[in-house]
Amino acid sequence: MFMAITTWALKRQIFYVVILLLFFGILGFLLIFPNLQKAPSCTDGIQNGSETGVDCGGSCPNACLSQVDTVSVLWARAFEVVPGRYNAVAYIVNHNKTNAAEKVTYRFRFADANNIYIGMSQGATVIPVSGNFAVFAPGIDVGNSVPVYTSFEFTETPQWLQVPQDRIDQIKVTVSNIQLTNPTTTPELSATIKNTSLFTIPDVNVVALLYDSSGNVVSASNTYLTELAPLQTADINFTWPEPLPSSVVRQELIPVYDIFSAKLD
């Protein structure tokens, strides 16, 4: 009789333990299951969905670094504005047809004829999608030194973003009616800039490069527009306080803006 009671009590204890385990098992499943079924995202630290890398490529805004080409700095130079003050320009190619960067820090360094360091200039720029663009640093003071050698580098790895092709096709800025006057006295360059899209484009920086007959850049300047409204046309002007150092046969005007900041009204 005693053994029967003990066996029955043991079975009852086992039954309660099983019920308790089932309860916590079901509760744990209900808590964990939604996370197991969570849709792939571009911030979950896992390569899933349409991604071609971890949280990059495919439908994610970030481009995978392994699939992005580095930009090429074709040249960097300093151009005298008045004695002791210079504008610096770096001429760069983005080889990526559908990738851009919103903000990347950079640094110009300057050295004299003896390759002795005389100064630097730092800032941040966007990297526009596909093609040539320029980084312009104005009014650099190097005192009595003359910057003969100029170097340029990005001081951080760009955070590359994918730009949808339809956005690239829609958002365009054109420059026309370029005219240079008074090159031997007080040079002035005028042009017409137009936003051909239905987007509002803020913070448009336009860099002007002047070329001689040998294809060398003899001077540079820039102008800034806080905003270009949809389909807006605006007159822009560049001036120099002193005569240009040599004859100019060609002008290149480069609008630089953040394609991601353009908004539909």
Q: Are 263 and 200 in contact (CB under 8 A)?
A: yes
- pLDDT for the residue 204: 97
Q: What confidence tier does 48 reach under pLDDT thresholds 50, 70, 90?
A: confident
**Rounded CA gap, 45 and 53, in Å?**
10
pLDDT, mean of residues 89-107: 97
* CB-CB neighbours of 51 under 10 Å: 20
Q: What confidence tier does 49 reach under pLDDT thresholds 50, 70, 90?
A: confident
pLDDT, mean of residues 146-175: 96
Q: Are 119 and 163 in contact (CB under 8 A)?
A: no
- pLDDT for the residue 93: 98
Q: Are 101 and 158 in contact (CB under 8 A)?
A: yes
Residue 194 in this model has a pLDDT that exceeds 90: yes
- pLDDT for the residue 55: 87
- pLDDT for the residue 50: 82
Nearest to 154 by CA among 116, 119, 126, 118: 126
Name 174's bridge partners: 194
- pLDDT for the residue 217: 97
Q: Would the CATH topology of 69-163 be identical to that of 164-265? A: yes
Residues sharing a CB contact under 8 Å with residue 155, sequence separation 6 or more, in sequence order: 105, 106, 107, 122
Q: What confidence tier does 51 reach under pLDDT thresholds 50, 70, 90?
A: confident
The pairing of strands 250-256 and 161-162 is unpaired
The CATH class given to the 164-265 domain equals mainly beta
Would you give the distance in Å from CA 209 to the centre of its chain? 21
Q: What confidence tier does 19 reach under pLDDT thresholds 50, 70, 90?
A: confident
The angle subtended at Cα 179 by Cα 132 and Cα 233, nearest 5°, is: 70
Give tens-digit pLDDT for 197-228. 999 999 999 999 999 999 999 999 999 999 99
Query: Higher pLDDT residue, 72 or 46?
Result: 72
Query: Higher pLDDT residue, 126 or 45?
Result: 126
- pLDDT for the residue 43: 78
pLDDT, mean of residues 169-191: 96
Q: Are 199 and 171 in contact (CB under 8 A)?
A: yes
Domain ranges of the chain: 69-163, 164-265
- pLDDT for the residue 158: 94
**Rounded CA gap, 235 and 157, in Å?**
36
- pLDDT for the residue 35: 56
Q: What confidence tier does 32 reach under pLDDT thresholds 50, 70, 90?
A: low
Q: Mean pLDDT of all residues in the chain? A: 90
Q: What confidence tier does 120 reach under pLDDT thresholds 50, 70, 90?
A: very high
pLDDT, mean of residues 27-44: 66
Query: Higher pLDDT residue, 4 or 156?
Result: 156
Domain covering 69-163, topology: Immunoglobulin-like (2.60.40)
pLDDT, mean of residues 111-117: 96
pLDDT, mean of residues 120-137: 96
**Rounded CA gap, 265 and 259, in Å?**
15
